Amino acid sequence: MDLDPLDIARWQFAIVTVYHFWFVPITIGLTAIVAGYETAWVRSGNTKWLRLTRFFGKLLLINFAIGVVTGIVQEFQFGMNWSDYSRFVGDVFGAPLAIEGLLAFFLESTFLGLWIFGWDRLSPRLHVACMWTVHVGTLLSAYFILAANSWMQHPVGFAFNPDTGRAELNDFAAVMFNKVQLVTFPHTVLAAYMTAGAFVVGVAFWQMVRGAKNDDDRSMYRGAVRTGAVIVLFSGLGVALSGDVQGKVMTEVQPMKMAAAEALYDTEKSADFSLLTIGTLDGSAEKFAIKLPGMLSFLATGNTNSEVVGINELREQYTKTYGQDPGQAYYSAGDYTPVIPLTYWTFRMMIGLGLAAAAAAGWILWATRRSRTPQGRLILWAAITLPFTPILANSAGWIFTEMGRQPWAVFGLMTTEQAVSPGVSATEMLISLIALTSVYAVLAVVEVRLLLTYIRRGADEVTDANLPSDDEHDPDRPLAFAY
């Protein structure tokens, strides 16, 4: 079989990026939640908040580590597998990446180190400030990397230079405040809060009904369950609202992506949104569907009666604007058309799983009102599966937004086929794909088992041995924390 380096490079990018983004949202959200618990402890002196800080802090660190190390690959694989992309976009795309490193990565890594090892070196206020600083670092990181991605979705603030054959930056502010970025950033970060909130609910709920040794423990975990659930609900609402705006912006800048989200082939007025469709694999003929009338028009434009342009018409438009699809030899789907079943189903997965998470969180919040501890099996399962729903919704959302842009790597400027490294052989890429995938698979097993161990162990008691020490200047005192 002839292996195409492009296929391998795409699989690698998809695998390592989706994998990386299983851990990133939990990190973004959980740094804020842990900082919140620690702030509550510093303000109230109530040790239950300290116990939650330490408990979720440990889970955060296990998760953070894997996000950090998989992030290294993200930084370098543009040059390794996508060198022509790097040459073409470096002048625009490189800057946010470099700034992300300088502003965000240093902040996160340094202040996390201070937080982990600094329990006995820093005053409580300074210590909690370290975790807030880490959180700010995660937000900065998200902002710059999403600005880079938004530029790929909707290139602005540049001019194509025929002499150098590349896109050249001429308006940095336009890139930073790209209209796609302004809605993608809240959407992604709120989804991260939702993910971390769901993680907290799942973990704390299990401890509340299965692990807690006494009423104090139960009440402590209930507090965590409820804070988590409130975060899921509020951020979930934000995710829905920002997603709605994002859909409209996307209809404007990448109409094909939104037509592909519904597999809408022919232009329609008052277009319906289908909850599910059974049809041919290319989606061009449907056999059975459940539909919400006018909903697609509403999602795309805010008006149930307006017209939504279909794939067939968009093909003609795109061909008129950009010429023959340079990617058509590669994409069997046809001119400028992404893989429709994939965009159709990932779009529904994203929305459906997000709604399911919010519904479960609402139920759990209601069931734990006035110090109740629900004992049903069903609600326990709802809580345990809750952390996975936003994680999968995140993955689906990214697969949708990246696959929906195909055949473009940079919309309207460069196809994915043109982006790949011409000098790297299929063998080299295959070695890389196999090595990274195997290492990542092993690490996933290690990480999940470690998380489960620490989740089962529950929050440590606060005892005299680990609460205040008067001899803090004794140089022979053991370290508060050691690897």
- Near other proteins in 86-145, by CB under 8 A: 86-87, 89-95, 97-103, 105-107, 109-114, 116-125, 127
| Site stretch for other proteins (CB under 8 A), options 288-296, 369-377, 380-388, 427-435 | 427-435
181 binding other proteins? (CB under 8 A): no
20 binding other proteins? (CB under 8 A): no
**Shortest distance, position 227 Cβ to other proteins, whole Å:** 20
**Shortest distance, position 66 Cβ to other proteins, whole Å:** 7
Q: DSSP letters of 60-110?
A: HHHHHHHHHHHHHHHHHHHHHH-HHHHHHHHHHHHHHHHHIIIIIIHHHHH
Closer residue to other proteins, CB minimum distance, 369 or 449: 449
Q: How many CB atoms lie within 10 A of CB 217?
A: 18
**Shortest distance, position 113 Cβ to other proteins, whole Å:** 4
Closer residue to other proteins, CB minimum distance, 121 or 372: 121
Contact with other proteins (CB under 8 A) among 17, 31, 70, 274: 70
217 binding other proteins? (CB under 8 A): no
174 binding other proteins? (CB under 8 A): no
Phi, psi of 287 (to 5 degrees): -105, -35
465 binding other proteins? (CB under 8 A): yes
Query: Can you say whether residue 147 is alpha, beta or left, with left for phi > 0 and alpha for psi between -120 and 50 degrees?
Result: alpha
CA 201 to chain centre: 18
**Shortest distance, position 179 Cβ to other proteins, whole Å:** 20
Contact with other proteins (CB under 8 A) among 424, 426, 430, 444: 424
Count of positions on this chain that bind other proteins (CB under 8 A): 98
422 binding other proteins? (CB under 8 A): yes
Tokens coding 354:
């997000």
Calpha distance 222→224 (Å, rounded)? 5
* SS3 (DSSP) at 166: strand
Closer residue to other proteins, CB minimum distance, 92 or 391: 92
Q: DSSP letters of 290-353?
A: EEETTHHHHHHHS-TTSEE--HHHHHHHHHHHH-S-TTTTT-TT-TT---HHHHHHHHHHHHHH
Contact with other proteins (CB under 8 A) among 13, 19, 37, 41: 41
Contact with other proteins (CB under 8 A) among 295, 384, 428, 437: 428
**Shortest distance, position 130 Cβ to other proteins, whole Å:** 10
End-to-end, the C-alpha distance of the chain in Å comes to 48
| Site stretch for other proteins (CB under 8 A), options 67-75, 286-294, 381-389, 394-402 | 67-75
Residues contacting residue 179 through CB under 8 Å, at least 6 positions apart: 154, 249, 253
**Shortest distance, position 269 Cβ to other proteins, whole Å:** 45
**Shortest distance, position 98 Cβ to other proteins, whole Å:** 4
- Alpha carbon distances (Å) from 130 to 32, 64, 294: 11, 15, 49
172 binding other proteins? (CB under 8 A): yes
| Site stretch for other proteins (CB under 8 A), options 274-282, 306-314, 331-339, 463-471 | 463-471
Closer residue to other proteins, CB minimum distance, 156 or 169: 169
Contact with other proteins (CB under 8 A) among 275, 290, 431, 448: 431
**Shortest distance, position 33 Cβ to other proteins, whole Å:** 18
45 binding other proteins? (CB under 8 A): yes
HEC letters along 372-433: CCCCCHHHHHHHHHCCHHHHHHHHHHHHHHHHCCCCEEECCCEEHHHHCCCCCCHHHHHHHH
Closer residue to other proteins, CB minimum distance, 323 or 423: 423
Contact with other proteins (CB under 8 A) among 135, 154, 166, 257: 166
Tokens coding 48:
């239950």
Calpha distance 189→128 (Å, rounded)? 21
4 binding other proteins? (CB under 8 A): no
- What is the DSSP pairing of strand 307-308 with strand 268-269? antiparallel
CA 422 to chain centre: 30
**Shortest distance, position 262 Cβ to other proteins, whole Å:** 37
Closer residue to other proteins, CB minimum distance, 183 or 420: 420
Contact with other proteins (CB under 8 A) among 170, 280, 284, 303: 170
Tokens coding 249:
């912006």
| Site stretch for other proteins (CB under 8 A), options 72-80, 317-325, 332-340, 348-356 | 72-80
**Shortest distance, position 7 Cβ to other proteins, whole Å:** 17
Calpha distance 241→248 (Å, rounded)? 11
* SS3 (DSSP) at 142: helix
Q: DSSP letters of 219-249?
A: HHHHHHHHHHHHHHHHHHHHHHHHHHHHHHH
Calpha distance 15→306 (Å, rounded)? 38
CA 168 to chain centre: 29
Contact with other proteins (CB under 8 A) among 2, 76, 321, 445: 76
